[in-house]
């Protein structure tokens, strides 16, 4: 028995190391994405009003899809007809002279299902405390928002639960900017329109339970049952 103890300690240390490596190399899971229903429409509008400039759309049709099990259409990744409302306000002047870098705050993004399920329609909401940074040059631009990079990203949905997520991310891509990105005489971005797509990710992935119960509570209930079952099994063998 004395000879076995070191090997047990080594095995435990190895398992702990593997666990640490798994955590360190954890990957974000893309759980949802969208595109405009009319790809040729420049539905996203940026309005240059100086310090209050905003980037928004109002109730445009989009194709939304989930990449994980959800309460709307289960494990399906089929497109869902949805309506998007989106708004974001500049947070200071942009930097650069092409490419341009512009910070935004007060981000509000809501995807509403055209067809409700059990009276529910909130496919995904990014709330108004969220932030992102836009990078753009010429006729294209993209945004990056990641809690690991210091951004505020908060998700909610009628069909997914996010309470276990420790990192959240979304990325928007804009094309066909008209006119191309440029500055006004006061150093603010000029008004433009664009076509947009986007993806949403988190670590770990959000989950869904039919009754909306917390997965952590579910685990808390299963663990004692598992231990009890193992105990009963050992007692039976004896």
Tens digits of per-residue pLDDT, 143-197?
989 999 899 999 999 999 999 999 999 999 999 999 999 999 999 999 999 999 9
> Which segments within 69-151 are labelled E, that is strand?
80-90, 100-117, 120-137, 140-146
In a domain, 4, yes or no: no
Q: Could you tell me which of 211, 213, 206 has the C-alpha nearest to residue 66?
A: 206
Check pLDDT > 90 for residue 6.
no
The answer to whether the pTM exceeds 0.95 is: no
Q: Is the dihedral of CA 30, 152, 107, 188 positive or negative?
A: negative
Check pLDDT > 50 for residue 95.
yes
In a domain, 212, yes or no: yes
In a domain, 91, yes or no: yes
**pLDDT score at 12:** 34
Q: 3-state class of 174 per DSSP?
A: strand
pLDDT digits (tens, 9 = 90+) for 14-68: 333 334 333 344 589 999 999 999 988 899 999 999 999 999 998 999 999 999 9
Alpha-helical segments (H) within 82-238: 215-237
Find out whether the peptide bond into 99 is cis, omega within 30 degrees of 0. yes
Compute the residue count for the chain: 238
In a domain, 145, yes or no: yes
Question: Could you list the residue range(s) of the whole structural domain that residue 71 is in?
Answer: 28-232
In a domain, 38, yes or no: yes
In a domain, 7, yes or no: no
In a domain, 192, yes or no: yes
Q: How far is CA 74 from CA 78, 117, 209, in A?
A: 10, 12, 10
Count of structural domains within the chain: 1
**DSSP string computed for 7-43:** HHHHHHHHHHHHHHHHHHT---EEEEEEEESSTT---
**pLDDT score at 231:** 47
In a domain, 21, yes or no: no
Average confidence score pLDDT of the chain:
83
């Amino acid at each position: 028995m004395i000879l076995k103890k070191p090997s047990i300690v080594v095995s435990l240390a190895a398992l702990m190391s593997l666990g640490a490596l798994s955590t360190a190399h954890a990957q974000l899971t893309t759980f949802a994405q969208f595109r405009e229903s009319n790809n040729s429409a420049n539905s996203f509008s940026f309005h240059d009003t100086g310090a209050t400039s905003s980037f928004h759309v109002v109730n445009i049709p989009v194709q939304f899809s989930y990449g994980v099990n959800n309460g709307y259409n289960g494990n399906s990744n089929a497109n869902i007809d949805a309506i998007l409302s989106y708004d974001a306000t500049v947070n200071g002047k942009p930097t650069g002279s092409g490419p341009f870098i512009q910070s935004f705050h007060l981000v509000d993004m809501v995807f509403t299902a055209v067809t409700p399920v059990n009276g529910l329609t909130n496919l995904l909401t990014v709330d108004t405390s969220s932030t992102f940074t836009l990078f753009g040059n010429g006729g294209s631009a993209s945004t990056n928002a990641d809690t690991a990079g210091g951004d505020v990203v908060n998700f909610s949905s009628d069909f997914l639960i996010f309470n276990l997520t420790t990192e959240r991310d979304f990325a928007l891509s804009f094309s066909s900017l008209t006119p191309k990105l440029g500055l006004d005489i006061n150093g603010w971005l000029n008004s433009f329109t664009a076509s947009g797509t986007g993806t949403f990710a988190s670590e770990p992935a959000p989950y869904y339970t039919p009754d909306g119960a917390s997965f952590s509570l579910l685990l808390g209930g299963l663990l004692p049952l598992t231990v009890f079952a193992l105990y009963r099994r050992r007692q039976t063998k004896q």
